[in-house]
């Protein structure tokens, strides 16, 4: 287990031929995502190309901004209907129904909706983000898509242990069924993409398959070239869908909650981001109902010129994610820790050199370091500006330092820049359009963590009242 920052950086900076990924990836692909046992025979020869397509379309411009543009446009269009104030679930949005939304009043008597903050933020962002990569047909044809992703994700650790379906664990049984539905949905999407590419007529439910993101289309072309089976393709695309949803949506909840729970921080974030957020009043929509302002967000400006918001984002990931990485060593090597890693009681000690032998496994428990008091003052406290530094010209910027919630090296999360921009845009949109107050009379209380594969889940419900911001 590698813990100190210099050793972690040393592991991540080693060439990929020092580690074997295939054995571990195949285990995850088969046991967690449900692939056929011989899946890697089909995917192994093309996995590097699949990775390069992800790099091209999710990490690099202009493809990155094109993906974010779609998600942010959806956020702009729907942030005004975050809550509807409707009493019946049939008239509510999907994200309201999953959050147990009920009409109520604020302390000063204005209309409000009481909701559970985690599911409403999680599902609101999910509905806006899925079309950027998977198009609009998939979620429309499979209305249980998001709930199936969450059921699958809830049992991810259980899947890692290869537990059989027949064990009397309710969450495991639900997850197996959800995973099967996800496989079927993604197989149908691949059939539709193949038909569209071949010029064959499409069923009416796949009329808009052309708006699937280029990252998925490029993968589909590679699948066809190498005759990858539909079963394997569906599972491979499930890894993309799960990666798009599983961590970013929970990170968006934690970031919003921490900003709301820190006195004065919401106002400071709104002031900093104001140059990049446009609210255009639309007046009375009829029947005395005030329309929400028209919203426009410059996500490029948020990413480049809002150090407080970005520092809050990094700080929330530091506290609310506990990722880990596993690598199998294929060639012997040694690493020597740096003197600056020897802090506290070990300051002044002689740096140690460690040997890594072929055939052994290296685990990097990133979450342990990110709350280590040796490296972070008041490690359990949310300090909004902790990561803001000043350059020589006096310009403020955000430094990630040894905070590595997305891992590193070859296996670093390919969607990290997309996640950063969608989460910050979503947070600013909700803060700009809505006011939030805790239902608990004692004020804001942060829940504890439930361990997950990356970003933690809350161990308690957080009920809030949501009302229109007064402009």
pLDDT attached to residue 287? 55
pLDDT of residue 346: 64
346-357 mean pLDDT:
83
**221 close to 182: Cβ distance less than 8 angstroms:** no
Does some domain include residue 11?
no
pLDDT of residue 284: 65
Residue 105 — very low, low, confident or very high, per pLDDT cuts 50/70/90? very high
Q: How far apart are CA 401 and CA 240, in angstroms?
A: 27
Residue 77 domain boundaries: 32-324+365-468
Q: What is the mean pLDDT of residues 80-93?
A: 93
* CA nearest to 122, candidates 457, 390, 389, 433: 457
Between residues 403 and 407, the one the model is more confident about: 403
241 vs 362: CA distance, rounded Å: 27
Contacts of 66 (CB under 8 A, 6+ apart): none
Tokens 């905070």 — which residue?
A: 403
pLDDT of residue 62: 81
Q: At residue 289, does pLDDT exceed 80? A: no
Quick check: 288 pLDDT over 60?
A: no
Which two three-digit tokens encode residue 27? 């285990």
**Does residue 234 belong to any structural domain of this protein?**
yes
Q: What percent of the chain has pLDDT over 70?
A: 97
Q: Is the pLDDT of residue 344 over 70?
A: no
User: Rg of the Cα trace of the chain?
Assistant: 23
- Of 33-47, 114-128, 149-163, where does the model show the most confidence? 114-128
For residue 100, tell me if it sits in a domain: yes
Q: Specify if 81 maps to a domain.
A: yes
pLDDT at 290: 65
CB burial of 58-82 (b: ≥16 within 10 Å; e: otherwise) equals bbeeebbbebbebbbebbbebbbeb
388-390 vs 396-398, strand pairing mode: antiparallel
> Could you tell me the pLDDT band of residue 286, with boundaries at 50, 70 and 90?
low
Sheet holding 102-105, edge to edge: 102-105, 111-116, 463-468, 434-438
* Token output for 398: 């955000």
55-59's contacts with Cβ under 8 Å and 24+ in sequence apart are 55/414, 56/215, 56/218, 57/213, 57/214, 57/215, 57/218, 58/215, 58/414, 58/415, 58/417, 58/418, 59/414, 59/416, 59/417
d(Cα 6, Cα 337) in Å, to the nearest integer? 6
The mean pLDDT of the chain is: 91
pLDDT tens for residues 296-321?
999 999 999 999 999 999 999 999 99
The residue-averaged pLDDT of 130-157 equals 96
- The model's confidence at residue 179, banded by pLDDT at 50, 70 and 90, is very high
In this predicted structure, what is the pLDDT of residue 47? 84
Encoded tokens for 156:
């991810």
d(CA 175, CA 153): 8
324-360 CB burial, b ≥16 within 10 A, e <16: ebebbbeeebebebeeebbeeeeeeeeeeeeebeeee
**CB-based contacts of 90: which residues, under 8 Å, 6+ apart?**
none
Task: Determine, yes or no, domain membership for 346.
Answer: no
What pLDDT does residue 451 have? Answer: 85
Evaluate whether 313 touches 295 at the Cβ level (below 8 Å): no
pLDDT tens across 19-77, in order? 887 778 888 899 999 999 888 888 888 888 887 877 777 777 788 888 899 999 999 99
pLDDT at 379 over 90: yes
Q: What is the average pLDDT across 135-158?
A: 96
More confident residue, 51 or 397: 397
pTM of the predicted model, to two decimals? 0.94
Report if residue 76 sits inside a domain.
Answer: yes
Q: Which of 56-70, 143-157, 188-202 has the lowest mean pLDDT?
A: 56-70
Q: How many domains does the chain have?
A: 1
Q: What is the pLDDT of residue 369?
A: 87
| pLDDT tens, position by position, 414-461 | 788 999 999 999 999 999 999 999 999 999 999 999 988 789 999 999
User: Percent of the chain having pLDDT more than 90?
Assistant: 68
Kindly state the DSSP code that residue 209 receives in the 8-state scheme.
G
Which alpha helices (H) appear in 199-306, and where do they start and end?
Answer: 214-225, 230-245, 248-261, 265-273, 299-305
Identify the H or E element spanning 420: helix 416-433
Residue 20 lies in a domain: no
Which pLDDT value is given to residue 3? Answer: 82
Q: What is the pLDDT of residue 122?
A: 98
Q: What is the mean pLDDT of residues 205-224?
A: 93
Determine, yes or no, domain membership for 131.
yes
CATH for 316: 1.10.630.10
| pLDDT score recorded for residue 413 | 81
Residue 409 pLDDT > 70: yes
Q: Report whether pLDDT(211) > 60.
A: yes
Judged by average pLDDT, the poorest of 36-50, 256-270, 279-293, 417-431 is 279-293
Judge contact between 276 and 301, C-beta under 8 A.
Answer: yes
């Amino acid at each position: 287990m590698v813990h100190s920052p210099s050793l972690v950086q040393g592991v991540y900076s080693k060439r990929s031929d020092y580690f074997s990924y295939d054995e571990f990836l195949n285990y995850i692909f088969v046991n967690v995502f449900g692939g056929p046992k011989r899946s890697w025979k089909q995917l192994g020869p093309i996995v590097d190309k699949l990775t390069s397509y992800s790099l091209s379309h999710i990490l690099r411009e202009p493809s990155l901004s094109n993906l974010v543009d779609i998600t942010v446009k959806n956020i702009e269009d729907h942030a005004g209907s975050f809550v509807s104030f409707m009493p019946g679930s049939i008239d509510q949005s999907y994200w309201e129904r999953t959050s147990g939304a009920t009409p109520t009043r604020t302390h000063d008597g204005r209309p409000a909706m009481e909701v559970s903050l985690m599911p409403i933020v999680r599902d609101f962002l999910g509905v806006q983000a899925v079309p950027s990569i998977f198009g609009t047909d998939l979620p429309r044809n499979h209305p249980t898509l998001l709930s199936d992703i969450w059921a699958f994700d809830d049992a991810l650790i259980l899947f890692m242990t290869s537990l059989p379906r027949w064990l009397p664990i309710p969450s495991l049984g639900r997850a197996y069924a959800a995973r099967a539905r996800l496989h079927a949905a993604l197989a149908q999407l691949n059939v539709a993409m193949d038909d569209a590419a071949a010029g064959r007529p499409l069923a009416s439910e796949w009329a808009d398959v052309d708006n699937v993101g280029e990252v998925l289309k490029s993968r589909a072309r590679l699948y066809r070239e190498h005759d990858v089976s539909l079963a394997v393709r569906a599972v491979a695309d499930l890894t993309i869908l799960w990666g798009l949803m599983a961590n970013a949506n929970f990170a968006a909840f934690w970031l919003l909650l921490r900003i709301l729970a820190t006195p004065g921080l919401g106002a400071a974030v709104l002031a900093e981001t104001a140059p990049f957020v446009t609210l255009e009043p639309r007046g009375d929509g009829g029947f005395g109902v005030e329309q929400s302002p028209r919203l426009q967000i410059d996500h490029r400006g948020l990413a480049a010129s809002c150090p407080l918001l970005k520092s809050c984002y990094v700080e929330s990931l530091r506290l609310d994610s506990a990722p880990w990485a596993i690598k199998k060593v294929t060639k012997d090597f040694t690493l020597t820790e740096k003197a600056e890693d020897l802090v506290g009681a070990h300051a002044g000690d002689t740096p140690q050199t460690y040997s890594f032998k072929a055939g052994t496994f290296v685990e990097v428990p990133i979450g342990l370091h990110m709350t280590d008091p040796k490296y972070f003052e008041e490690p359990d406290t949310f300090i909004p500006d902790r990561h803001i530094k000043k350059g020589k010209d006096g310009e403020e910027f955000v430094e990630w330092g040894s905070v590595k919630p997305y891992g590193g090296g070859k296996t670093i999360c390919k969607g990290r820049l997309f996640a950063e921009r969608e989460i910050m845009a979503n947070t600013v949109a909700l803060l700009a359009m809505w006011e939030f107050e805790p239902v608990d009379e004692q004020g804001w209380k942060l829940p504890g963590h439930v361990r997950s594969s990356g970003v933690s889940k809350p161990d308690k419900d957080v009920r809030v009242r949501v009302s229109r911001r007064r402009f």
